[in-house]
Amino acid sequence: MWSFFKNNHKEKIDINANIDLERIPKHIAIIMDGNGRWAKERRLPRTMGHRQGVIAIKRIVKECSQLGVKYLTLYAFSTENWKRSQEEVSALMNLLVEFLISEINELHKNGVVVNSIGNISGLPEKCQEQLKASFERTKNNKGLVLNLALNYGGRDEIVNAVKKLVTKVDAGELTEEDINEDVLSRLMYTGGMPDPDLIIRPSGEQRLSNFLLWQCAYSEFWYSNIKWPDFSVEDLHNAIYDFQNRDRRFGAVK
Ligand code: FPP
């Protein structure tokens, strides 16, 4: 079905053999880092790194969908990214619109549900329109949920959830005794989704950068020096393979 990338799966046969297809992580989240450095190394403008990053998005979405990952959350624009130059911000917004317009048929055909986390009302109108059209078109699909983190910040998300909580308490819908982790989880942008099992950060940095702060309590982290535009299907397989060999105890003793 997928035709994003033809003949790009030479390596898949061998590497997939190492992955237990019965234990694919349900939710993978990725901090798509290194686009700027990728471009700099090639003496290209930073925006070319982002453009190449979109190509990586396409191959990783396709592979996650084929592997049966249920949720893929991509950190595409943080609440802090507004501090970048006007030119770069605007290039990123244009890439988002371009991506949604050019890929929506393919995504829809393959059962992908397009979703977002973050405060999208802060995005330019054209992005909001394209996002809403994509949500509407794909909302009844049953495949991979592609969660685009846009104007997203983990702290902002927690503040936002607390505000919703206070509103509910004020309205008498909840009392102090009702408040617990589940209630707060449901008020996050990710409400109703499982926490990420695996968080991937390419490009050599080993920090969270305000990503999924509430949800990452028991996520497994996977870092690599590869820059996001170069992130391959093989890298994804390696991350999943490593994940499958971790001993997840969730604080308990086996
Ligand atoms: C981080 O690399 C990357 C971003 C802030 C933007 C990620 C966005 C895309 C890949 C494309 C747009 C999104 C969609 C959904 C179409 P960086 O620029 O911080 O890299 P650097 O650390 O090397 O400078």
Residue of the nearest CA to atom 10 in ligand 1? 53
81 lines ligand 1 (CB under 6 A): yes
Looking from the CA of residue 46, the nearest atom of ligand 1 is 18
Would you place residue 10 in the very low, low, confident or very high pLDDT band (cuts 50, 70, 90)?
Answer: very low
* 63 Cβ closer than 6 Å to some ligand 1 atom: no
- Alpha carbon distance 67, 22 (integer Å): 10
Catalytic residue among 7, 8, 20, 81: 81
Whole-number pLDDT of residue 248: 83
Indicate whether 16 pLDDT > 90: no
Catalytic residue, chosen from 7, 14, 16, 33, is 33
pLDDT cut 70: percent of the chain above it: 93
The arithmetic mean of pLDDT across residues 181-207, rounded, is 97
Concerning whether 81 is annotated as a catalytic residue, the answer is: yes
Distance 98 CA to ligand 1 centre (A): 15
> Residue 193's pLDDT is what?
98
In this predicted structure, the answer to whether residue 13 has a pLDDT above a threshold of 80 is: no
Distances (CA, A) of 14 to 11, 19, 56, 208, 247: 6, 10, 21, 32, 24
pLDDT band, very low/low/confident/very high, at 137 (cuts 50, 70, 90): very high
Q: What is the pLDDT of residue 11?
A: 44
Residues 210 and 153 sit within 8 Å (Cβ to Cβ): yes
Q: What is the dihedral of CA 12, 142, 187, 164, to 10 degrees?
A: 130
Share of the chain above pLDDT 90, in %: 90
Between the CA of 152 and the centroid of ligand 1 the distance, in Å, is: 13
Query: Does the C-beta of 54 come closer than 6 Å to ligand 1?
Result: yes
Total residues belonging to the chain: 254
Backbone angle region of 210, left / alpha / beta, with phi > 0 → left and psi within -120 to 50 → alpha:
left
pLDDT of 34 above 60: yes
Ligand 1 pocket test target in 31, 35, 84 with most atoms within 8 Å of CB: 35
Q: Assess whether the C-beta atom of 75 lies below 6 angstroms from ligand 1.
A: no
Quick check: CB of 103 below 6 Å from ligand 1?
A: no
Q: Is 33 labeled as catalytic in the residue annotation?
A: yes
Residue position matching structure tokens 């939710």: 27
Mean pLDDT of the chain: 94
Summarize the confidence of residues 145-154 as an average pLDDT.
Answer: 98
201 alpha carbon to ligand 1 midpoint, in Å?
Answer: 12
Q: Measure Cα distances from 31 to 14, 76, 231, 237 in Å.
A: 26, 8, 12, 16
The structural domains of the chain, ordered by start, are 23-154+195-244 (3.40.1180.10)
Please name the residue that has the structure tokens 């994509």: 134
CB of 202 closer than 6 angstroms to any ligand 1 atom: no
Reference 236, options 95, 7, 2, 66; nearest CA is 66
